Amino acid sequence: MIAALLLPLILALPAQAPEARPSAKADAAMAKARAEEMRELARGITMKSGDEKALELAPEPIYRFVDPTRSFSDGTVWAFGRDGRPEAVLTVSLEGRQGGKLHWLYEFTSLSTDRVRAVGPAGAARWPWAPEGPGIVLRAIPKADAPDADAPKRLRQMRELARRFRAYEFFEPKPGERPERYELRLLPQPVARYKDPASGLVDGGLFFLVYGQNPEIALVIEARAAGNAAPSWTYGVQRISAARSHVRLDDREIADMPRINDNDLTRPYAGFIRPIPEAVK
């Protein structure tokens, strides 16, 4: 079950003081209410693998964030899967546009080496989200020591390997403005850790590269063994953003992802908005 394989929720929100002021308590209550609303939105999505088997939604988000510089007042990332790596992640975030109008932004990202498929509530999108190919392609990490037999030491290895990856993106500060370059930051810990010995997956970690707190790139680092061969380290990357993004491993570019300007639901990444009725804002 995926729930047993995920790390505790990584919060990218400020900690509250032990004795919160009334306004802080009200903010906390609002944040709790938004979290429950995002949970219900995530539960409204049905995700399946390429063989049409249901993918389980993790009971808690694997990450929560705010990004006020880009008008995101709250957001959560949810994982879908069975054994091993999450097959897909869903980002649900509350976004404000010019004029003060709010909407929910859904962003789907496939982390599958096969295909996935999702459907949701009527009127929220042109269903299904059905990528025509895999979300990630696993490749060997060059110049990497063999995975350690000890699980805590493997985690240390994963973190060291993840630090070899760098990423940046181009984003328009305001609609119509010239895109600017923004460096992305690697979160120091994986947001999920998993394994599936039956498939040769000895150990794995899902890392995020973020702008501020907002996740933009998904990076998987996995120790895998084929047959009786010794395990070795592999990686895969996929976007969690429509921005043009570049990813480097050491001094070599490994991904140049163009800007996405539509909501084509046949891509491994797709996003769309769901308006919030005035009465419930």
- Structure confidence by residue, pLDDT tens digits, 52-89: 999 999 999 999 998 877 777 789 999 999 999 999 99
Q: What is the pLDDT of residue 104?
A: 86
pLDDT of the residue at 5: 43
CA dist 45 → 91, 118, 271, 277 (Å): 12, 7, 14, 20
Q: Left, alpha or beta for 216 (phi > 0: left; psi -120 to 50: alpha)?
A: alpha
Proportion of the chain above pLDDT 70, given as a percent? 86
Residue 214: strand pairing partners: 211
What is the mean pLDDT of the segment spanning 20-46?
Answer: 85
**pLDDT band, residue 277 (cuts 50/70/90):** low
Q: Residue 126: pLDDT above 60?
A: yes
pTM recorded for the entire structure: 0.88
Q: Is 32's pLDDT higher than 70?
A: yes
* Closest residue by Cα to residue 91 from 220, 240, 210: 240
Question: Which pLDDT band holds residue 30 (cuts at 50, 70, 90)?
Answer: confident
Residue 58: per-residue pLDDT:
97
Provide the 10 A C-beta neighbour count for residue 105: 15
CA angle 54, 59, 61 (to 5 degrees): 110
Q: Per-residue pLDDT tens for 38-57?
A: 999 999 999 999 999 999 99
**Is a pLDDT exceeding 80 seen at residue 236?**
yes
- Report how far residue 134's alpha carbon sits from residue 112's, in angstroms, rounded to the nearest whole number: 6
Domain range for 48 is 2-280
Closest CA relative to residue 84, chosen from 27, 186, 4, 172: 4
Instruction: Identify any residues that bridge with 64 across adjacent strands, giving them in sequence order.
Output: 11, 76
Residue with tokens 């009127």: 123
**Cβ count within 10 A of residue 185:** 15
Span 88-123, pLDDT tens digits = 999 999 887 656 678 888 999 999 999 999 999 876
Return the pLDDT at 216.
97
pLDDT of 73? 76
Report the mean per-residue pLDDT for the chain: 88
| Model confidence pLDDT, tens digit, residues 158-212 | 999 999 999 999 988 666 788 899 999 999 999 999 999 999 999 999 999 999 9
Q: What total of structural domains would you count in the chain?
A: 1
The yes-or-no verdict on residue 7 having pLDDT over 60 is no
The pLDDT assigned to 135 comes to 98
